[in-house]
């Protein structure tokens, strides 16, 4: 409900624009009525624009706060498993024991993929980036699961969401196995969501796999930390695709595509490569100089954020999880981790980064952690997409359950040619 109005005076109009208060965070001015007066706003990158109302995730960038349905991310990562967090994001409350058991069962009974999808993978070159395969395989699911694609039906929407959450680890592991020419490993229903993923990733049909519980717990936390992040670029891509009525698998594929960019979900892979490129503490100042040089496209990967102008709360949990994994695999504090800690310390004391409020984000330590688990850097964004699928679906369900939602169709500021007549080819100079 509007609490009070903002006044806009433009041309010969004085317009009263409703201001809506948030339960947390800044209020917003509703500009949707401006088009009736042929007045439009422009905001490239949506730096000052709320695209929707949502109840799922709240970020306070200045305080470094991240809440899923009101619960702080560090508490969820420490006290819940990913299935509890997925239930929370989808339905708004943490599950009780019975609700969790039912949700676990619903997910576990959708983990297999249609056998013909295995043939689908064979069309790809072995060495291509697994994100290419994942975005294609996710979109292809829409061609295999016809019985729940009527998005006007809540039960269809929920069934498709269960299928997508259940199958994304299977497809992600298949991408890894295919890239290595190794046999696929089927999911096992007695394993947890995270154990199952590691089983399909590192297991072999030739023997029962023995998933390390410390690594499974670390992967579970990684899923929780990456599960949602309000209206980020890839979530916005899913909402835009969903607003056209596209099927859920096509919408999630749009999210996978948008996430791949190095400025977004591709940063974890880019961050590890950057650390390997820096190589030694003695070269940190050289790379910090490059990061500050406006003529150099190099950015300090894993640093900075559109919203966080403080420490990304996920980075703190990620750093602790990184320590646990390194100790478990006997890597101790590898040179890469020590280099990351040194780079973080130096950057946080550097005026350029302080002035611009650039802090480590979730990607800064996730790459080192996954690397220590034996996962190649090309799979880092695949794992990010696996986790974010639950967040994307939560937003997709939230949008479609609002009967007033409209197709996303932004306007523009046109500065091109005014109308003119075509000149025949022979007459053109
Ligand atoms: C994710 O949106 C989300 O929520 C995303 C995410 C999620 O969970 O969905 O949190 C996941 O994408 C995390 C971010 C991962 N990306 C990286 O780590 C790549 C490195 N970071 C930068 O590319 C950058 O910080 C962005 C893209 C993340 C944010 O860019 P903005 O908000 O558009 O900020 P900006 O580019 O306008 O930066 C402001 C200033 C600029 O300098 P000035 O023009 O003011 O002199 O800070 C500088 C930038 O040049 N800057 C950096 C920098 N990040 C910003 N300079 C060097 N290194 C960096 N990393």
**What is the pLDDT confidence band of residue 21, given thresholds at 50, 70 and 90?**
very high
pLDDT at 1: 58
Q: Render pLDDT for 114-156 as a digit per residue (tens, 0 to 9).
A: 999 999 899 999 989 999 999 999 999 999 988 888 999 999 9
What is the biggest distance separating any 2 CA atoms in the chain, rounded to whole angstroms?
Answer: 78
**Do residues 360 and 302 touch, judged by C-beta distance below 8 A?**
yes
Nearest CA owner, ligand 1 atom 48: 356
Expressed in angstroms and rounded, the spacing between residue 27 Cα and the centre of ligand 1 is: 24
Q: Distance between CA atoms of 251 and 234, rounded to whole angstroms?
A: 10
Q: Best substitution site from 270, 299, 357, 394 to test ligand 1's pocket, by max atoms within 8 Å of Cβ? A: 299
Out of 305, 307, 367, 384, mutate this one to test ligand 1's pocket (max ligand atoms within 8 Å of CB): namely 305
Would you say the CB of residue 199 lies under 6 angstroms from ligand 1? no
CB of 354 closer than 6 angstroms to any ligand 1 atom: no
DSSP string, 101-170: HHHHHHHHTT----THHHHHHTTS-TTS-HHHHHHHHHHHGGGT-GGG--TTSHHHHHHHHHHHHHHHHH
Ligand 1 pocket, mutate which of 304, 308, 351, 384 (most atoms under 8 A from CB): 304
Q: Known catalytic residues? A: 305, 363
What is the structure's pLDDT at 146?
A: 83
User: pLDDT tens, 310-357?
Assistant: 889 999 999 999 999 999 999 877 888 899 989 999 999 999 999 999
Give yes or no for residue 260 CB within 6 A of ligand 1: no
User: For the residues 258-277, what does the mean pLDDT come to?
Assistant: 93
Give every CB contact of residue 188 below 8 A, 6+ residues apart in sequence.
Answer: 196, 199
CA distance readout (Å), 422 to 419, 425, 428: 10, 9, 10
Does ligand 1 come within 6 angstroms of the Cβ of 302? yes
Average pLDDT of span 288-296: 95
Q: 267 in ligand 1 pocket by Cβ < 6 Å?
A: yes
DSSP string, 293-359: -TT-----TTB--SS-SS--HHHHHHHHHHHHHHHHTT--S-HHHHHHHHHHHHHHTSHHHHHTT--
Under the banding of pLDDT at 50, 70 and 90, the label for residue 12 is confident
- Closest ligand 1 atom to the C-alpha of 364? 18
- Say what the pLDDT of residue 284 is: 95
Q: Is the CB of 66 under 6 A from ligand 1?
A: no
- Which pTM value belongs to this model? 0.94
Q: Which residues pair with 13 in a beta bridge?
A: 10
H or E element at residue 34: none
Give residue 2's pLDDT band: very low, low, confident or very high (50, 70, 90): low
pLDDT of residue 282: 95
Structure tokens at 419: 């109308």
Residue whose CA is at the smallest distance from ligand 1 atom 33:
306
For ligand 1, whether the C-beta of 385 sits within 6 Å is: no
pLDDT band at 3 (very low <50, low <70, confident <90, very high): low
Query: Over the chain, what is the mean pLDDT?
Result: 95
Mapped onto helix, strand or coil, the DSSP state of residue 18 is: strand
Q: Is the CB of 387 under 6 A from ligand 1?
A: no
């Amino acid at each position: 409900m509007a609490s009070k109005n903002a006044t806009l005076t433009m041309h010969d109009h004085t317009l009263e624009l409703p201001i809506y208060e948030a339960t947390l965070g800044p209020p917003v001015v509703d500009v949707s009525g401006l088009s009736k007066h042929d007045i439009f706003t422009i905001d490239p990158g949506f730096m000052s624009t709320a695209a929707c109302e949502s109840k799922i995730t709240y970020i306070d960038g200045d305080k470094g706060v991240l809440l899923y349905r009101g619960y702080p991310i560090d508490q969820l990562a420490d006290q819940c498993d990913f299935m509890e967090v997925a239930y929370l994001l989808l339905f708004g409350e943490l599950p009780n024991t019975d609700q969790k058991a039912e949700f676990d069962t619903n997910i576990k009974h959708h983990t297999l993929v249609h056998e013909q999808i295995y043939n689908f993978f064979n069309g790809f070159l072995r060495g291509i980036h697994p994100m290419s395969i994942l975005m294609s395989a996710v979109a292809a699911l829409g061609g295999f699961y016809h019985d729940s694609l009527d998005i006007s039906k809540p039960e269809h929407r929920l069934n498709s969401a269960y299928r997508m959450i259940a199958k994304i680890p299977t497809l992600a592991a298949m991408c890894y196995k295919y890239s290595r020419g190794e046999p696929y490993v089927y999911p096992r229903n007695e394993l947890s969501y995270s154990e199952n993923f590691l089983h399909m990733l590192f297991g072999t049909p030739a023997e029962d796999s023995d998933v390390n519980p410390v690594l499974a717990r670390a992967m579970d936390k990684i899923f929780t930390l990456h599960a949602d992040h309000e209206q980020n670029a890839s979530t916005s891509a899913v909402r835009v695709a969903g607003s056209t009525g596209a099927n859920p698998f096509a919408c999630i594929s749009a999210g996978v595509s948008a996430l791949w960019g190095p400025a977004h979900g591709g940063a974890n892979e880019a961050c590890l490569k950057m650390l390997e490129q820096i190589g030694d503490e003695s070269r940190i100042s050289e790379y910090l100089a490059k990061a500050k040089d406006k003529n150099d496209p190099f950015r300090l990967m894993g640093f900075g954020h559109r919203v966080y102008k403080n420490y990304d709360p996920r980075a703190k949990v990620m750093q602790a999880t990184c320590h646990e994994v390194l100790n478990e695999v006997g890597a101790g504090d590898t040179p890469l981790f020590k280099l990351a800690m040194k780079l973080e310390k130096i950057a946080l004391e550097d005026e350029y980064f302080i002035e611009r409020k650039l802090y480590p984000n979730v990607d800064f330590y996730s790459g080192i952690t996954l690397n220590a688990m034996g996962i190649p850097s090309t799979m880092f964004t695949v794992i990010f997409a696996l986790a974010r699928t639950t967040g994307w679906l939560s937003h997709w369900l939230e949008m479609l359950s609002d009967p007033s939602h409209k197709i996303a169709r932004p306007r523009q500021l046109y500065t091109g040619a005014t109308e003119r007549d075509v000149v025949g080819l022979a007459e053109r100079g």
